[in-house]
């Protein structure tokens, strides 16, 4: 066990799975980097944010494939390779680039098994960065996990910490279905204790990062950290919160969410993705349908406005949910109960 960054945790998961299984190959733009240049430095980048650094040096050109900037062809190739015996991990760099290769994910990988009568296996992982907070503007900042969650046949992972990222990525690589693994780009330097040995975290099993009696907060990816921060502040004022990190949006651990809402009677959902048809609306619908009688207050959703992600720091800060907004949402659902009782 040692302190590792989110970036190192992901790199370690890839390295250990590549050591374990020779069918695991990496495909992506600049995942080694430096090939064909004039400086002579190969493995120069390890992806634009250095996540795969060193893997080309360790595993070589037969396992690590730099690609042209050509998402449709190499994501499609990863799908085809997965259906024919390899276990590719493809890096899409920014998830926003899915616009260039959605067909390969949505119409090919996701549907093979069903269309082919259960006879296909497509053990593919597509890694990509998501999220605002990097001044990366509208085409490099989206949180598109609801888009993938919407598509039957895909599994979708949004890790909330270095520990989670390593265990969930190992699970993703060992999984026999296509998995979209989304890394919040602001978190790459976050550090925590991460075991050195390989371990996996099952999909569809939520993690309770805080347990409390008053309000259930469901948060996704980086938002789990803000939810924890808000819960810790609220605790000091005597408001105790359960914080649920679902870990995966598909499959979704509906049972744990419903159980916690039954216990607390109040629900706040924190989702950094665009607010229409996102995970917050999905969880809200689930609870409204299955746990209506347990609710002591309306469900509150904390998220960005229905706009593209802005560039300027001042606007981007307004755009993204933070601990203060979560805290305020929790106080409002608590206040709602008091108002009702007073009336």
For residue 42, what are its two tokens?
A: 């190969």
- How many beta carbons lie within 10 A of that of residue 205, not counting itself? 13
Alpha carbons 337 and 127: distance in angstroms, whole number: 42
Which of 310, 281, 298 has the alpha carbon at shortest distance from 335? 298
Alpha carbons 252 and 220: distance in angstroms, whole number: 11
Choose which of 17, 43, 164, 177 interacts with other proteins (CB under 8 A). 177
Stretch that binds other proteins, among 152-160, 225-233, 281-289, 293-301 (CB under 8 A): 152-160
Among 7, 87, 140, 222, the one annotated catalytic: 140
Stretch that binds other proteins, among 12-20, 115-123, 268-276, 298-306 (CB under 8 A): 115-123
- Quickly tell me which residue has 């926003």 as its tokens: 96
Residues 2-61 that bind other proteins (CB under 8 A): 23, 25
Alpha carbons 150 and 266: distance in angstroms, whole number: 26
Q: Look at the alpha carbons of 22, 65, 158, 152 in this order and tell me if their dihedral is positive or negative.
A: negative
Any contact of residue 204 with other proteins (CB under 8 A)?
yes
Which of 215, 214, 231, 235 has the alpha carbon at shortest distance from 223? 231
Residues 251-290 that bind other proteins (CB under 8 A): 251
Any contact of residue 156 with other proteins (CB under 8 A)?
no
Shortest separation between residue 162's beta carbon and other proteins, angstroms: 26
Stretch that binds other proteins, among 79-87, 214-222, 238-246, 269-277 (CB under 8 A): 79-87
Alpha carbons 250 and 146: distance in angstroms, whole number: 9
Pairing type for strands 191-194 and 207-210 reads unpaired
Any contact of residue 170 with other proteins (CB under 8 A)?
no
Any contact of residue 73 with other proteins (CB under 8 A)?
yes
DSSP of 233-286: HHHHTT--EEEEE-SEEES--HHHHHHHHHHHS-EEEE--S-STTSHHHHHHHH
150 annotated active-site: no
Nearer to other proteins, 40 or 117 (CB): 117
Shortest separation between residue 80's beta carbon and other proteins, angstroms: 2
Choose which of 11, 16, 52, 67 interacts with other proteins (CB under 8 A). 67
Choose which of 4, 155, 166, 247 interacts with other proteins (CB under 8 A). 155
Any contact of residue 117 with other proteins (CB under 8 A)?
yes
Shortest separation between residue 58's beta carbon and other proteins, angstroms: 16
Any contact of residue 99 with other proteins (CB under 8 A)?
no
Cβ atoms of residues 261 and 216 within 8 Å? yes
Which of 96, 86, 92 has the alpha carbon at shortest distance from 25? 86
Active-site residue set: 140
Q: Using CB under 8 A, list all residues that contact other proteins.
A: 23, 25, 62-63, 65, 67-68, 70, 72-86, 88, 103-104, 107-108, 111-121, 152-153, 155, 175-177, 204, 251
């Amino acid at each position: 066990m040692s302190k590792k960054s989110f970036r190192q945790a992901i790199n370690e998961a890839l390295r250990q799975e590549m050591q374990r299984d020779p069918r695991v190959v990496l495909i992506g733009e600049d995942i080694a980097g430096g090939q064909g240049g004039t400086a002579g430095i190969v493995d120069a980048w390890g992806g634009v944010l250095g996540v795969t650094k060193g893997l080309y040096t360790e595993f070589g050109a037969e396992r690590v494939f730099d690609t042209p900037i050509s998402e449709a062809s190499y994501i499609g190739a990863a799908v085809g390779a997965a259906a024919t015996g390899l276990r590719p991990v493809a890096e899409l760099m920014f998830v926003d680039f899915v616009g260039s290769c959605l067909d390969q994910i949505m119409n090919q990988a996701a549907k093979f098994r069903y269309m082919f009568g259960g006879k296909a296996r497509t053990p593919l992982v597509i890694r990509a960065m998501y999220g605002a907070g990097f001044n990366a503007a509208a085409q490099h900042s989206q949180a598109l996990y609801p888009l993938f969650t919407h598509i039957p046949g895909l599994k979708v992972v949004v890790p909330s910490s270095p520990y989670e990222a390593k265990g969930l990525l190992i699970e993703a690589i060992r999984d026999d279905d296509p998995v979209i693994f989304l890394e919040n780009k602001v978190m790459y330097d976050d550090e925590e204790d991460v075991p050195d040995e390989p371990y996996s975290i099952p999909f569809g099993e939520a993690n309770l990062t805080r347990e409390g009696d008053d309000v259930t907060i469901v948060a996704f990816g980086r938002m789990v950290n803000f939810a924890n921060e808000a819960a810790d502040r609220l605790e000091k004022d005597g408001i105790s919160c359960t914080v649920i990190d679902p870990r995966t949006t598909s499959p979704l651990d509906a049972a744990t969410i419903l159980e916690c809402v039954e216990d607390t009677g109040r629900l706040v959902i924190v989702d950094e993705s665009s607010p229409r048809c996102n995970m917050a609306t999905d969880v809200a619908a689930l609870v409204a349908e299955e746990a209506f009688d347990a609710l002591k207050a309306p469900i509150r959703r904390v998220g960005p406005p229905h706009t593209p992600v802005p560039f300027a720091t001042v606007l981007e800060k307004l755009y993204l949910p933070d601990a203060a907004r979560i805290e305020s949402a929790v106080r409002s659902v608590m206040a709602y109960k008091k108002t009702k009782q007073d009336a």
